[in-house]
Structure formats: structure tokens, C-alpha cells
Amino acid sequence: MRIGVDGRKIPEAAKRGPVASFDHARDLGMEGLFFRTVLDMSPTLDAGYLGEIKQRADELGMYLETGLGKVNPYATPEAPELRLIGDGDIVAGFRRMMEACAAIDCRELWVATANYKPAFTGRFAYDRFRTDVSWSEQLAATARFLKKLAPIARDLGIHLNLETHEEITSFELVRLVEEVGPDVTGVVFDTANVLQRGEHPVWSARRLAPYVRQSHVKDALIAYDGAVLDFQMRPCGGGVVDFRAILPILAEANPDLNLSIENYESFTDRPRNPPKMIIEIADPAWLEGHPDLSVEEYAAYLEMVQDYAKRIASGEVPDRETFAKWAVENYHYDETVKYIQQSAAHIRGICEDLNLPLKRAA
């Protein structure tokens, strides 16, 4: 396993560009970059430029991972670039992106099902709870679209890896992979996103491990806020995710898995008003929307939250309001670098303690 970082969220990514970002990542002690989509590297799929990026990664002995886009037909209108790159034909657009990735030997490709809607707080921020189309209809449409892409993927030796994105459960991902075929699909395991679906990260890891081919490694605060729970990204080791339990599960299933840190993005790079993300853990409508979640896992999840509450109460970790206020005022280049390096040190330390396979940059 190698430890890298998100190619879109590493500080100064837009300013430096993909090629120079590899040198930047190497200077920060990373072993690779994971660009969410190939269009992040080249919006026009310029073969020469994509080749330069891959060449620089190879020269530095680093990994390059990338992806495609959203594969839920009810969400793709929010990403017109996927149709544009195919001259109006979205299947052609995906084919061209897949061919461009295969040409630089990127064959494990990120895809996802929807987008988080920061304008809303609560379940309507997630497409899972849309009222114009049911989530089951969206999943069925996603499966149909993936089956259209499957022959292309087989021809190119590609896996389309579905992220444990905020709106989808690990149970649903397993069913999608098994329906479309594990020879052409897999999973991008985001270690914190599963928390938003009320899933315990360790339990999710056990379900998903046989299919995990890429990762987003991140941690999060989960804390009581009246009848709901707050969700807020934190450096690895600073949240509720038990990496000491998860990493051996992933390493046993895929010892060559790259561990790509998804960091909190610098406010210099992306000025914003961070949304308040909540989990309506006790709301009947929310609970009804998670039919696969067992009582046993739900109980383990709440126990995890209670244990974390003790860390907040002791002052070991800041509460949501304190961290949010500090971040808006202080979280720029230096603090983003610190966040990435702290996360990498936590993951690396666990791998070394447990004698897990970990490849360091030369």
C-alpha cells in the first residue's frame, strides 16, 4: 500500500497544475495523487498533456489515480461536461474518457452516484431523499447505465469503482457491483462518508473489502446536536474512524491498495461558507430510508459516537463550533499541509505498528 493525497484538494492544486502538483506532493512526503476525474487533469482529454502527467508520476515513482464522473442518469445533468466531451452523447463521452485513461494505464477509475446539496441541511441535501424520483429508481437507472459501459470497460481492462459517497450505502454498493459484475466494477472506499448513512466504518469495511480497489482516506467528527448528529471532516486520528481496525481488513483483501487522503480544502484555494452537515439519526423518515441497517450496527454506531463525546468533553479534540470558527479564520496553506501530513503520519504509524504492507517513496 502507498499513501497519497487528493489531486484536487492538495493545496494550490489549481495554481500549480497536475504536473507540478506531483512534485509538490512528493515534497510533502506523499506517494501519489488521486484526481477525481480525468477532466480535472485535462478538460479536453489532451493526450499529450495527460502523457506528461503520467510521465512525471512515473519519474517520481508515484502513483496516479483518476476517475470519470457521476453514473446516476438522474444526477448527470448536473455535470454537463460529461456530455460535452462526447459531443452531446454521454456514452461516447464516457468511452472517450475511459480510452484516455487506459492510454496512460489508469485502469481503476472513480465513479459516483450523486452530489451533496449544500444549500440544504438534513436529508434533502442528499439525492437519496428526492421526492421526484425514488432512490430505488435512481439505483436501477445507475445499474442500467453501468451495464452500457461494462463492455467498454471489459475491452479496456478497466474497473469502474463506485465511491461510498454521501448518499449511498455500502449494502447498495455491494449489490450494484454484484449485479453489473466485479470484473468491471469495484468500490472506492471513503472511510468517513459511510458515517452519513449511519454505518459503522469497521462494519462497512468488512462488507466492502472484497471489492475495494481505490480509497478516500478521511476522518470525521460525529457529535450530538440535540436530536441530530453533526458531521465535520477531521484529520485522520482526530475523528471517530478506527483506522487500526479498518486498515488490516483492507490490506488483507487488497495489499496493493493505494490510500489516498482526502483533506479538508484550504480556504485560500476555495473560499466558502462551510455547510452544517447533519445526520438525522433518530428521524423516522431517515430510518425508513435505511432498511438494510441492522439494530446491532446501529447500536455499535451510537456507542462509537458516545465514546467520541468523551474525547470532546475531555478537550482532546475540539467541538464542531470551535473547529469551524478556527478553520474559517486560520485554515490556509500551512494548516492544510499540516492536516495532510498529520493524517499520513497516523495512517503510516498504524501500518508500521501492525506490520502491514506499506511502500515508501524512494
Q: What is the pLDDT of residues 35-91, one digit of tens each?
A: 999 999 999 999 999 999 999 999 999 999 999 999 999 999 999 999 999 999 999
Assigned domain for 154 exists: yes
Check whether 330 has a pLDDT greater than 70: yes
Assigned domain for 41 exists: yes
Assigned domain for 362 exists: no
Q: What is the CATH number of the domain that holds 185?
A: 3.20.20.150
Query: Which of 307, 189, 200, 301 lies closest to 254, judged by CA?
Result: 189
Q: What is the pLDDT of residue 171?
A: 98
Q: What is the pLDDT of residue 300?
A: 98
- Rounded (10°) angle between helices 243-253 and 201-208: 0
Assigned domain for 200 exists: yes
Q: What is the pLDDT of residue 359?
A: 85
Residue 335 neighbours by CB under 8 Å, 6+ apart: 266
Assigned domain for 224 exists: yes
Residue 270 CA to residue 336 CA, distance in Å, equals: 12
What range does the domain containing 42 cover?
Answer: 2-353
Retrieve residue 229's grid coordinates: 448528529
* Number of domains making up the chain: 1
Assigned domain for 58 exists: yes
| DSSP of 6-67 | ETTTSTTHHHHHHHHHHHHHHHTT-SEEE-S-HHHH-TT--HHHHHHHHHHHHHTT-EEEEE
Q: What is the pLDDT of residue 147?
A: 98
Q: What is the pLDDT of residues 178-205, one digit of tens each?
A: 999 999 999 999 999 999 999 999 999 9
Retrieve residue 236's grid coordinates: 485522520
Check whether 361 has a pLDDT greater than 70: no
What average pLDDT does the chain have? 97
Q: Do 189 and 159 form a contact (C-beta atoms < 8 A)?
A: no
pLDDT band, residue 360 (cuts 50/70/90):
confident
Assigned domain for 232 exists: yes
Q: What is the pLDDT of residues 108-160, one digit of tens each?
A: 999 999 999 999 999 999 999 999 999 999 999 999 999 999 999 999 999 99
What's the number of CA atoms in the CB half-sphere (13 Å) around residue 51?
4
Residue 286 CA to residue 23 CA, distance in Å, equals: 44
Assigned domain for 327 exists: yes
Q: What is the pLDDT of residue 362?
A: 62
Exposure class string for 292-326: b at 16+ Cβ within 10 A, else e: ebeeebbeebbebbeebeeebeeeebbbbeebbee
